[in-house]
């Protein structure tokens, strides 16, 4: 029995150590990584838009699918962890556009982030299937979920 408890305890502690290491990302890094994640999603959104909305670039199913998969992965990567204490305002020259209200409404923020995750997974599935009409609809849904959070929690 003792060994079982000791085993469970050390598993807990180990888990704790992993969590602590994860939380140790400095506030500066959290801001930079989240901005990079958002920019990376935007870059991939732009590629899909060019091919299936604007038609300025010829449709290539593999490229659209790859872009959608990248968005899906980032949207579902747990970015909420990058809005930790100390990241609610500028740090030196590092500017954040996160609205202070965001940090008082983490539950709402998590919901909006969850909506994006769902929409992004749907877009990835549609992009893989390759029906452009369905991709357009799914793309619109992703765009809406980006916007709904920006309207509330991203400053000018």
Of 49 and 134, CB closest to ligand HEC = 49
Q: Is residue 124 classed exposed, middle or buried when 0-12, 13-18 and 19+ CB atoms within 10 A define those classes?
A: buried
Are 107 and 140 within 8 A, CB to CB?
Answer: no
Q: Which of residues 103-122 bind ligand HEC (CB under 6 A)?
A: 109, 112-113, 116
Q: How far is CA 23 from CA 16, 27, 80, 85, in A?
A: 10, 10, 12, 10
Of 57 and 114, CB closest to ligand HEC = 114
Of 52 and 109, CB closest to ligand HEC = 109
The residue ranges that bind ligand HEC (CB under 6 A) are: 31, 34-35, 38-39, 41-42, 45, 71, 96-98, 102, 109, 112-113, 116, 142, 145-146, 149-150, 153-154
């Amino acid at each position: 029995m003792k060994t079982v408890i000791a085993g469970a305890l050390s598993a807990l502690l180990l888990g704790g150590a992993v969590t602590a290491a994860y939380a140790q990302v400095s506030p500066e890094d959290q801001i930079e990584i989240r901005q990079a994640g958002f920019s990376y999603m935007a870059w991939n959104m732009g590629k899909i838009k060019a091919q299936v909305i604007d038609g300025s670039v010829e449709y290539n199913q593999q490229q659209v699918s790859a872009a959608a998969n990248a968005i899906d992965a980032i949207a579902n990567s747990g970015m909420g962890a990058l809005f930790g204490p100390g990241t609610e305002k500028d740090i030196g020259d590092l500017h954040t556009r996160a609205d202070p209200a965001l940090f008082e409404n983490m539950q709402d923020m998590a919901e909006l982030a969850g909506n994006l995750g769902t929409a992004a997974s749907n877009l990835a599935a549609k992009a893989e299937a390759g029906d452009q009409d369905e991709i357009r609809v799914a793309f619109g849904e992703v765009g809406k979920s980006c916007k709904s959070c920006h309207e509330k929690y991203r400053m000018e």
